[in-house]
Structure 1
Amino acid sequence: MYPPVDPIIFEFGPIALRWYGLLMATAVLVGALIASREVERRGQKADDFWDMLFWVLIPAFIGARLYYVFIQSPRTADGFGHYLENPLDIFKIWTGGIHIFGAFIFGGIALWLYTRVRRLPPLVFLDAITLALPLSQAIGRWGNFINQELYGPPTTLPWGLRIDRPHRIPPYNDLAQYPDSTRFHPLFLYESLWNLIGFGLIFWISRRFRSPLRDGDITLLYLIWYPFGRFFIEFLRTDSWFFPGTPFNVVHVLCAISVLGASIALYWRHRQPKRLERANEGDRTS
């Protein structure tokens, strides 16, 4: 697997169309189309989803960027010090550097607020988004390939990824120890494939077990599937801050909480069907 691929598709004066931005826009559009159809399938109006999308996407991107800048970037080539010296670079999201967990937090809060204000069932809209989200992530991860980011340690596997020196973080930028022929684990590919499988599986479950599934179950399935795979992929990360003396980082903790919490919630809510039915009826009428 051999970059480099020019990250800029074409330029017109100060305007540049970048692969990263195009892939992100494609991921959002594909996910939104799937989610809007799921909203309709659940008996809601697609127009309500499209009206909500803007108010959720903006906070989600802000959260994704802030998480990267303040938590993820200290191990990157630029580092957090770069953003302290060049604060305007925080807004250069097209150069890469976003984190899905920040999007979860900010986007989830925005969705909850919007549905409460508009008196819409939050779990229905959340399920629709999380049904489509793995496919969007699978598409968007290829932006990391273009930007030569999200790679792991050196590997001799045939699908190893070439990383140019400007995109390497220490100690892999030492060409004496890690020459140009060194190849690295393509973590973006691992995660993209995991998300693609997850989308197929969750989509199949949503259709095959339509009757026993309740509002919010698709979200819980996503919160089990994606963090479970991400937990193991994180062991190969080279750009994360790890707790001293351990192979674990903040994402490991968040993933473990998500998998355990969502598993318990999924089990608990199906052990008490009558109580949940009353709760769902309350959500729909709120």
Structure 2
Amino acid sequence: MLNGLNAVLATIPSPDRGVWFLGPLPLRAYALCIIAGIIVAIWWGERRWVERGGIKGDVTDIAVWAVPFGLVGGRLYHVITDNQKYFGPGKNPLTALEIWNGGLGIWGAIALGAVGAWIGCRRKGIPLPAMADALAPGIVVAQAIGRLGNYFNQELYGGDTTLPWGLEIYRRVTPEGREDALAGVAIDHTPIQVVHPTFLYELLWNLGVALLIVWADRKFRLGHGRVFALYVAGYTAGRFWIELMRTDEATLILGTRVNVFVSALVFLGAVAYFIIARSRGEREDIAASRATDTPVGEATGEPVVDAGDAKDQKDSPESVKPE
């Protein structure tokens, strides 16, 4: 009896639901965690960008492009790699649009988010690698916050375990009596499984990666996208072994989850970039490059006059003063 009580007290209980309602309006924990992560990433990225010589507000302007692209990319990657959940006999393809029910692939989010960031940086004349270095710690912390959404959704966990930090999984049902792990409410707190909380392993790993890249950036003054490359390498190293522990449905290649292969390939690419980019020299001086690229008068708000305009003004009658 005592041993059973200790086992129950040692495990991690799941929330009884992942959705709350304010009248007809659903408040989904997963969506709230994603939004909170985005806010943290922008806030921290803005601070780091200013510290590196950038202008306050640049990160917010870039996020206007990067965030929507990232959300679309993350969903596309998930739908493509887990297409069996949405397409085929008995499936409703329209559910692929229901992003609030979970399902964002980080690979697609980073890839297409980078395209959005590149567009924003190009419009503002900002080097993308420098911006990526400023954003990297905030991005990986945002991923950690997003994993809390998986906790509320009772998803992305591993196999059964007797370890003290095992996660309790409850049976959830809707008011109509239909079983639904995402939209339902736990009928009681009797676990139907105690499993490895792989979402928690990834959350903690991501926080460790954030600490690592901040330390390395300060100690070695990394630049030219090397902070971002270190983040990608650190994240994929953890995702590789965590992915092997997960038991949720996934697309397989040679009997192995597709994201295991993707993690390995992206890790190798990130390490290669980190090594090659070292030849580009010391960290970019954002303030100096801004001063060089900014036309005279722009910083003070005075109108900028080019050489041709100046000549025309000098030769015009209004510019001739009486002797």
Q: If the TM-score is normalised by the length of the shorter chain, which range does it land in?
A: 0.7 to 0.9
Q: Is the 8 A contact 1:83 1:90 kept in 2?
A: no
Equivalent runs, 1:124-143 vs 2, <5 Å: 124-143=130-149
Identity of aligned residues (%): 35
Contact 2:14 2:169 in 1 (8 A): yes
Give 2:231's aligned residue. 222
Q: Secondary structure, in 3 states, of the residue corresponding to 1:45?
A: coil
The answer to which of 183-192 and 116-125 deviates more is 116-125
Alpha-carbon distance, 1:8 to partner: 2.2
Which of 38, 41, 46 is the matching residue for 1:36? 46
How does the TM-score come out when normalised to structure 2?
Answer: 0.74
Question: Equivalent residue for 1:241?
Answer: 251
Equivalent residue letter for 2:227: I
Measured after TM superposition, the shift of residue 181 of structure 1 is 4.1
Q: CA 1:109 to 1:83, structure 2 compared with 1: closer, same or farther past 3 Å?
A: farther
Alpha-carbon distance between aligned partners in 1 of 2:239 and 2:62, rounded to the nearest angstrom = 28
Equivalent residue number for residue 254 of structure 1:
262
Amino acid of the residue matched to residue 130 of structure 2? V
User: What are the equivalent positions in structure 2 for 1:1-286 lying under 5 Å apart?
Assistant: 1-9=12-20, 11-72=21-82, 74=84, 79-81=85-87, 85-165=91-171, 166=179, 180-210=191-221, 213-238=222-247, 239-244=249-254, 246=255, 248-270=256-278, 272-273=279-280
**For each residue in 1:219-248, what CA deviation from the matched residue of structure 2 results, as whole angstroms up to 9, or x when unmatched?**
11011100011011111122222213x3x3
Write the letter of the residue equivalent to 1:203: V
2: distance between equivalents of 1:202 and 1:252? 23
The verdict on how the C-alpha distance between 1:227 and 1:84 changes in structure 2, with shifts beyond 3 A counting, is farther
AA at the equivalent of 2:62: M
The TM-score normalised by the length of structure 1 is 0.83
**Could you tell me how far apart the structure 1 residues matched to 2:245 and 2:86 are?**
21
Higher helix share: 1
Structure 1: give runs of 5+ residues left out of the alignment.
169-178
Partners of 1:57 and 1:33 in 2: CA distance: 14
* CA 1:22–1:229: 2 relative to 1, 3 Å: same
Larger radius of gyration: 2
Task: For 1:125 and 1:215, locate their aligned partners in 2 and report how far apart those are by CA, in whole Å.
Answer: 9
Provide the C-alpha distance between the structure 1 equivalents of 2:206 and 2:141, rounded to a whole number of angstroms: 6
Q: Deviations over 1:40-80 (max 9, x none)?
A: 11211121211121211011111111211221353xxxx23
CA distance in 1, matches of 2:271, 2:195: 34
Match of 1:175 in 2: none
- Classify 1:28/1:43 alpha carbon distance in 2 versus 1 (closer, same or farther; 3 Å): same
8 Å CA contact 2:61–2:120 kept in 1: the answer is no
- 2:61, 2:117 → 1: CA distance? 11
Q: Is the 8 A contact 2:166 2:195 kept in 1?
A: yes
Equivalent position amino acid for 2:71 in 1? F
Cα pair distance change 1:133/1:82, threshold 3 Å: farther
Return the letter of the residue paired with 1:58.
P
Return closer, same or farther for 1:274/1:120 CA change in 2, 3 Å cut-off.
closer
1:180 offset after TM fit, Å?
4.9
SS of the residue corresponding to residue 159 of structure 2 reads coil
Mapped contact 1:148–1:167 kept (Cα < 8 A): no
How far off its partner does 1:124 sit?
Answer: 1.5
Give distance in 2, aligned partners of 1:186 and 1:265: 32
Q: Deviations over 1:237-260 (max 9, x none)?
A: 22222213x3x3322222112221
Deviation at 1:98? 1.2
Q: Deviations over 1:148-189 (max 9, x none)?
A: 011111112121122235468xxxxxxxxxx95431111100
